[in-house]
């Protein structure tokens, strides 16, 4: 088999065979096929697309390129949730204990990563003592006992995706549905989940800004999941404005605790109930979506979900008194209110700019080496559709930095106030099964 022929075949718009897909994925991972040939193939895929079958075969080849997490020692159907990423997305912190509290096993491998705020692990480390450096056996035992545990990334998962993603980054081939869908799904499948709930975000703060693109990506991922034997569904949700009120690590932990106590923001609570119900259904812990939702609402109302969060954190070293008294979470030295310059209705809160502002305050990493300030971030007081008076606080900056004028400028540019009535945006656009 020759790489040249594979490039030519795809360039001409023909479907590749499974052998051809494996040949280039394995050859590239091992270093036998040079970057220039794979670059040409990626560009051919970008223009010629891939069939549903090719996408699934590419995904499986990437899964098989490295280690796979074996969760078979955990009883029950393991359901993972994946979000395509957004600003102030506190859902994982709420969903993990919430669905676990009604019997769904959550075996979560998570990371830190770059972004507006830290990853799930950084956020949880706002709770003093909490750690994710546990052995695989401890991880499995904890999920069997408490139905929930989070472990830091271990093993060499999907090395093919790492190499291909880096190459796409420098060859203008990131933005391709078959390549994005296979990249995301390969990582989920290698992490061992039996079933997958996808939260595909759309809007200014999302990877897919456009609703139609988000739907297409969701359909592509659901199709891949089903073809490789993992029950998969997707929810398309809004990320035109940040989710909830909090953007920042300890601020989001506090928000998650309030949500688990049934006192959380409306949009965050609703999205968690929608995604959570789907997880409960896929895990066979309810026979209808209505029954699944009722179970979750009951767990929020009777304190079971909140207690489960405490059990989960204290089992991995976290100080449970912090969960009872969130005043003990890391707190920034300065709280600076940003006030409305005019009276009216909030028309937009551009999510990605607010995320950037939170990062500038210290909440996220700009490079792998940057230190995170767990206490830093932004707390919104208003959301799109809310009325505001001139001089009324729209949000509060939490920071330890001396100088925040450029952050305040960015915020004023990113929040539009209108004289007209504005409706709150749709939260859930679609469900793809
Ligand atoms: N996220 C991924 O993991 N892969 C992509 O290709 C795009 C976003
Ligand atoms: Ca939030």
pLDDT in tens, 203-240: 988 989 999 999 999 999 999 999 999 999 999 999 99
Q: What residues have a C-beta under 5 A from ligand 2, the ion?
A: 88, 90, 243-244, 246
Q: Whose CA is nearest to atom 6 of ligand 1?
A: 180
Q: Whose CA is nearest to atom 2 of ligand 1?
A: 184
Long-range contacts of 314-317 (CB under 8 A, 24+ apart): 315/142, 315/145, 315/146, 315/149, 316/130, 316/131, 316/132, 316/134, 316/142, 316/149, 316/150, 317/129, 317/130, 317/131
The reply to whether the predicted model has a pTM over 0.80 is yes
The protein residue with its alpha carbon nearest to ligand 1, atom 1, reads 184
Query: Which pLDDT tens digit goes with each residue over 313-355?
Result: 999 999 999 999 999 999 999 999 999 999 999 999 999 999 9
| CB 403, CB 397: distance < 8 Å | no
Cβ-contact 383, 240 below 8 angstroms: no
Walk along the chain (433 residues) and give the pLDDT tens digit of each residue. 999 999 999 999 999 999 999 999 999 999 999 999 999 999 999 999 999 999 999 999 999 999 999 999 999 999 999 999 889 889 999 999 999 999 999 999 887 777 889 899 999 999 999 999 999 999 999 999 999 999 998 889 999 999 999 999 999 999 999 999 999 999 999 999 999 999 999 998 898 999 999 999 999 999 999 999 999 999 999 999 999 999 999 999 999 999 999 999 999 999 999 999 999 999 999 999 999 999 999 999 999 999 999 999 999 999 999 999 999 999 999 999 999 999 999 999 999 999 999 999 999 988 888 889 999 999 999 999 999 999 999 999 999 999 999 999 999 999 999 999 999 999 999 999 9
Cα(236)–Cα(431) distance, integer angstroms: 6
Q: Residue 383 CA: which ligand is closest? A: 2
Query: Which listed residue (187, 254, 295, 398) is catalytic?
Result: 187
Catalytic annotation, pick one of 183, 250, 299, 375: 183
Q: Among 55, 81, 82, 163, which one carries the catalytic annotation?
A: 82
187 has catalytic annotation: yes
Taking the CA of residue 183 as reference, the ligand 1 atom at the shortest distance is 4
CA-closest residue to ligand 1 atom 8:
180
pLDDT of residue 205: 86
Shortest-distance ligand to the CA of residue 354: 2
User: Distance, CA 385 to ligand 2 centroid (Å)?
Assistant: 17
The token pair at 38 is 């794979």
Atom of ligand 1 nearest to the CA of 179: 6
Could you tell me if residue 96 is left (phi over 0), alpha (psi between -120 and 50 degrees) or otherwise beta? Answer: alpha
Determine contact, residues 329/127, Cβ cutoff 8 Å.
Answer: yes
Alpha-carbon separation of residue 204 from 85, 207, 351 (angstroms): 12, 8, 6
């Amino acid at each position: 088999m020759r790489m040249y022929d594979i490039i030519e075949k795809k360039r001409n718009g023909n479907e590749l065979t499974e052998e051809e897909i494996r040949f280039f994925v394995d050859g590239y991972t091992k270093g036998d096929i040079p970057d220039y040939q794979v670059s040409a193939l990626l560009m051919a895929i970008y223009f010629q697309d891939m069939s549903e079958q090719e996408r699934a075969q590419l995904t499986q080849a990437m899964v098989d390129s490295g280690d796979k997490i074996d969760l078979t020692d955990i009883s029950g159907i393991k359901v993972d949730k994946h979000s395509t990423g957004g600003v102030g997305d506190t859902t994982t912190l709420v969903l993990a204990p919430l669905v676990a509290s009604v019997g769904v096993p959550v075996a979560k491998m998570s990371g830190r990563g770059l972004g507006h705020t830290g990853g799930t692990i950084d956020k949880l480390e706002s709770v003093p003592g909490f750690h994710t450096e546990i052995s695989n056996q401890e991880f499995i035992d904890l999920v069997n006992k408490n139905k929930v545990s989070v472990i830091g990334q271990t093993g060499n998962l999907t090395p093919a995706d790492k190499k291909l993603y880096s190459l796409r980054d420098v060859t203008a081939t990131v933005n391709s549905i078959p390549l994005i869908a296979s990249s995301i799904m390969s990582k989920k499948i290698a992490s061992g989940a039996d079933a997958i709930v996808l939260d595909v975000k759309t809007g200014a703060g999302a990877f897919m800004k456009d609703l139609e693109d988000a739907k297409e990506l969701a359909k592509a991922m659901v199709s891949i999941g089903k073809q490789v034997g993992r029950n998969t569904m997707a929810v398309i949700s809004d990320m035109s404005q940040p989710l909830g009120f909090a953007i920042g690590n300890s601020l989001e932990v506090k928000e998650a605790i309030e949500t688990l106590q049934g006192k959380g923001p409306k949009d965050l609570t609703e999205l968690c109930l929608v995604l959570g119900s789907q997880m409960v259904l896929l895990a066979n812990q309810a026979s209808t979506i209505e029954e699944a939702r009722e179970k979750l609402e009951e767990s929020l109302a009777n304190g079971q979900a909140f207690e489960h969060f405490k059990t989960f954190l204290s089992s991995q070293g976290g100080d449970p008194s912090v969960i009872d008294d969130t005043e003990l979470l890391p707190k920034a030295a300065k709280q600076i209110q940003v006030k409305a310059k005019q009276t009216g209705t909030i028309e937009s809160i551009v999510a990605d700019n607010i995320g950037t502002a939170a990062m500038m305050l210290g909440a996220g990493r700009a490079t792998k080496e940057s230190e995170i300030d767990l206490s830093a971030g932004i707390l919104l007081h208003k959301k799109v559709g809310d009325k505001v008076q001139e001089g009324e606080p729209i949000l509060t900056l939490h920071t330890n930095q001396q100088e925040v004028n450029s952050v305040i400028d960015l915020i004023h540019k990113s929040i539009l106030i209108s004289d007209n009535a504005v409706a709150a945006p749709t939260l859930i656009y679609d469900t793809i099964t």
